Structure 1
């Protein structure tokens, strides 16, 4: 049996780039495909900060519904936007080879980094908390929209800079020359990775996608997402996590921050690849035991009020 695989995607330039990459990979293995772009709630409401919208998986929900309704067969996501618990009946079918996982600063001159005053834009609580941890006197303003919209807003406002995921800018080739790699900033769990989901019962699509899976990327992002899930942080909590494989060992660095960036709880660990089964969970439990539980409760109460 063969069928045309309908690929669901958000309709931003970056999302379409990701979907077309998957389309090309599937067609190179002999499958027929069709792109089906859909608008998500996260794309439609640009006036409200994500954490105020109170929806887990705001960028993935519309595609989940389209899959469950049978309008598309598979969906392509930036994995950092995907909730750690997938809807019933939907499964991870492949994780593509991870791209650059770093955050970077697009700036209008770096002199302000030496000053007490500065204004940075980001829609991410994780980036905001880490920026304020390092630069407590700076101001951080909210920035929403797709990559191109955010870049335009940076140009139109008198901010000193804005923080972006390197992978997004590199994928659609709009990374300007005035950037700094934020090597000190811990990325979002699974940042730079692309996830393709399918319906659990759809063996045809799952088999087609299995050949696109990149095992090393899968191992690393699963450790990071297990850390996130154990801390009970949706994509709105200030949680960073990064796992890398070096010399057959997984090196993990994770952290939880207070919303104002004043508190930072971090953990670093290295284990042989064969022993990483509960690595993310155990690292998160270490943070929870050392005051992270109270900090998470405080974060939730502030965000829910």
Structure 2
């Protein structure tokens, strides 16, 4: 049986770039496809921080509903936006080869980093905010929401010193400024820089097509990071960073958990043979919890419920 694979995507420039990438790869393999852009709640509600909306899958929920209603066959996501628990009936099928994982600072002149005066940095991410305040406690961090293009425009319009973005996102749509600073000290979000494609569990045709796009090392590395996140029980409501890298048949992992103000940091750095990678993310998370991460996560949950 042959069919046209309907590819669901958010309608932002970056999301469309990602969906077109998957479309080209499938068409190169001989499959017929069509793109179906859908506006997500996360793109529509721009006046509240992500964690206040109370949904970890805010950018994926609309596509999940469209898939379960039979309006689309597959959906392409930035993997870091996808909840670690997928809805019943939807499965992860392909992780594409991962792009660069770094966060970057887009700025209006970097001299302020050496100054003792307070500066203002913008980001909608608790993880980026906590790590920035850990390094620059005298700075102020303000909330920044919207798609990449909207956030860049807001940076121009406001008197902020800079804003933090994922390097991969800006590179993909050719908006990376030449003078952007790579924040190599900032631990990225779990699965940052990776694209994932999901399908209905019952859709064997689409799953067979997508399996051909899967990049094994990227799947393993992001799986470890998301297992770390899931074990800590953190969605958008906790400042958690994780990065697994595979080199020479070994997995090198760094994971961090911060307090919202950046003052507390609990981290883990380990490596393990690739052949023993199963359960590695969970083991690293348990180490963080035993170092006091359990108390910190409880405090974060209490702070979050106070916001709601």
User: How high is the TM-score relative to the length of structure 2?
Assistant: 0.98
User: How far apart in 1 are the matches of 2:152 and 2:104?
Assistant: 13
Q: Name the structure 2 match of 1:294.
A: 295
Contact persistence 1:108–1:178 (CA under 8 A): no
User: How far apart in 2 are the matches of 1:247 and 1:8?
Assistant: 36
Q: Name the structure 2 match of 1:245.
A: 246
User: How far apart in 2 are the matches of 1:236 and 1:163?
Assistant: 18
Q: Name the structure 2 match of 1:34.
A: 34
Q: Deviations over 1:39-64 (max 9, x none)?
A: 11000000011111111200000000
Contact persistence 1:9–1:37 (CA under 8 A): yes
Contact persistence 1:265–1:292 (CA under 8 A): yes
State the 1:246 CA deviation: 1.1
Is residue 100 from structure 1 mapped to residue 100 from structure 2 by the alignment? yes
Q: Name the structure 2 match of 1:196.
A: 197
Equivalent pairs, count: 305
Q: Name the structure 2 match of 1:24.
A: 24
Give structure 1 regions of 4+ aligned residues with deviation exceeding 2 angstroms: none
User: How far apart in 2 are the matches of 1:125 and 1:154?
Assistant: 18
User: How far apart in 2 are the matches of 1:303 and 1:60?
Assistant: 21
Q: Deviations over 1:243-288 (max 9, x none)?
A: 0011110000000000000000000110010001011000000011
Is residue 58 from structure 1 mapped to residue 82 from structure 2 by the alignment? no
User: How far apart in 1 are the matches of 2:184 and 2:242?
Assistant: 13
1:270-281, aligned counterparts within 5 Å?
Answer: 270-281=271-282
Q: Name the structure 1 match of 2:156.
A: 155
Q: What stretches of structure 2 of length at least 5 have no aligned partner?
A: none
Contact persistence 2:254–2:268 (CA under 8 A): yes
User: How far apart in 2 are the matches of 1:164 and 1:290?
Assistant: 30
Q: Name the structure 2 match of 1:219.
A: 220
User: How far apart in 2 are the matches of 1:128 and 1:160?
Assistant: 14
User: How high is the TM-score relative to the length of structure 1?
Assistant: 0.99
Q: Name the structure 2 match of 1:303.
A: 304
Contact persistence 1:120–1:141 (CA under 8 A): yes
Is residue 47 from structure 1 mapped to residue 47 from structure 2 by the alignment? yes
State the 1:303 CA deviation: 1.1
Contact persistence 1:84–1:225 (CA under 8 A): yes
State the 1:236 CA deviation: 2.9
Q: Which SS does the other structure have where 1:197 is aligned?
A: strand
User: How far apart in 1 are the matches of 2:153 and 2:177?
Assistant: 12
User: How far apart in 2 are the matches of 1:237 and 1:151?
Assistant: 24
User: How far apart in 1 are the matches of 2:147 and 2:305?
Assistant: 25
User: How far apart in 2 are the matches of 1:56 and 1:21?
Assistant: 25
Contact persistence 2:103–2:186 (CA under 8 A): yes
State the 1:155 CA deviation: 0.5
Q: Name the structure 1 match of 2:2.
A: 2
Q: What stretches of structure 1 of length at least 5 have no aligned partner?
A: none
- Aligned-CA RMSD value: 0.6
Q: Which SS does the other structure have where 1:75 is aligned?
A: strand
